[in-house]
Amino acid sequence: MARRVAVTGIGVVANCGTDTETFWKGLLTGVPDTGFDIIEFDPLPYFDGNAKDARRADRFTQFALAAADEALTQAGELSADPGRIGVWIGTGVGGIGTLEEQIGIFIEKGPRRVSPFLVPMMMSNAAAAAVSMRYGFQGPCENTVTACAAGTQSIGRAADLIRLGRCDAVITGSSEAARSPVGKQGFINMTATSSAGISRPFDAARDGFMHSEGAGVLVLEEWEMAVARGATVLGEILGSASTADAHHITAPAPGGSGAVRCMELALEDAGLSAADITHINAHGTSTPLNDAAEAEAVSKVFGAGGPPITSIKGVTGHGLGAAGAIEAVAVILAMQHRLIPRTFGTTAVDPEIAPINLVLGQHLAWEPGPAMSNSFGFGGHNGTIILGPA
């Protein structure tokens, strides 16, 4: 029998808040004046004030360490053997900022001036490795690199390590810092980003996402162990799934077929029916194709209307590989506050897409129950997790 998986800590770094308290307030008030960048972030506290060590970590690793620090502080001292505590932190592109910087140095100053720390800073597993080393966790230390599905799939795989008995606790989530000059321009040139400068998920006037950055981290524990040590259980990972569209490098499969299968498999994994889901945190990027495919997929699985849906990307923008973990944190906070944030940026749901029950206008009071969070990435990667309230 699979073991239950408790969530005992959450941490976040996002444009609307670099801790869970300010992040939640931001989800209720909208895009901050600073937009979709994280402006005032000081990495030094997460390197014990050592500026040299901080400089030797890419921004995406710095974000992951900050979110992990908050999550582990909330969780308290873990009682598991360090060899049975894992780390699974995903990313979409890893240390692209470091890579760009060092290519510039190579061109301007020559090959001998390239930093010897380039590879350990840019590698996609750097964030997971940094968390493992900082806290001495010696279980599996892995990462998922599946574009915008990385965070959700990482959480699902981390939960599996506990459910199947390989680990007693796993620190999981994802991090991204791809708002480098070339990183930003790449998305602009492929016309994925909004020319209007606004994220408006599922809106008729949506014209692309707003590129952002950040990190989300959850502490997962075997349920009985968490209860035995007196931990405060914030929620539960009930099930997960991942599928591939096998269709196109950027466009979703017609009719959202891959997303349909992913949601159905997650429900099966959780032992739930569609009628049991009380809320969906949508991928909802504000791109024409993604939103249409996701709406159709949700309508096929849940019927017309369905449970209340929100996309927090109207506030946070699209954090790429970090998005799924940031959104999982948002679901846990919604359960704690018994409130589903409205979808900012959207004035009316596109009448040309399948009908969905999008939360608009006002935040929605909610009796927390099983909630689904979806992520879909370039390459046809689909990820779904189902979370339950404590």
- The residue from 16, 141, 279, 318 that is catalytic is 318
Residue 287 Cα to chain centre, angstroms: 18
Residue 283 is a catalytic residue: yes
> Cβ distance 89 to 154 under 8 Å?
yes
Give the CA angle between residues 212, 291, 380 to the nearest 5°. 80
Residue 262 is a catalytic residue: no
**Cα–Cα dist 18/11, whole Å:** 9
**Cα–Cα dist 9/384, whole Å:** 20
Sign of CA dihedral 125, 131, 133, 138: negative
**Residue 98: enclosing H or E segment and its boundaries?**
helix 96-109
- Using CA atoms, how far residue 271 sits from 275, 277, 349, in Å, is 12, 11, 31
**Residue 5: enclosing H or E segment and its boundaries?**
strand 5-13
- Using CA atoms, how far residue 191 sits from 40, 185, 256, in Å, is 29, 10, 21
**Cα–Cα dist 12/63, whole Å:** 8
The token pair at 207 is 């014209």
- The residue from 16, 148, 167, 262 that is catalytic is 148
Listed in order, strand segments (DSSP E) in 14-55 are none
- The residue from 211, 262, 279, 283 that is catalytic is 283
Residue 16 is a catalytic residue: no
> Cβ distance 214 to 12 under 8 Å?
yes
Helix, strand, coil tally for the chain in percent (to 5):
40, 20, 35
Closest CA to 84 of 133, 129, 128, 139: 139
Annotated active-site positions, please? Answer: 148, 283, 318
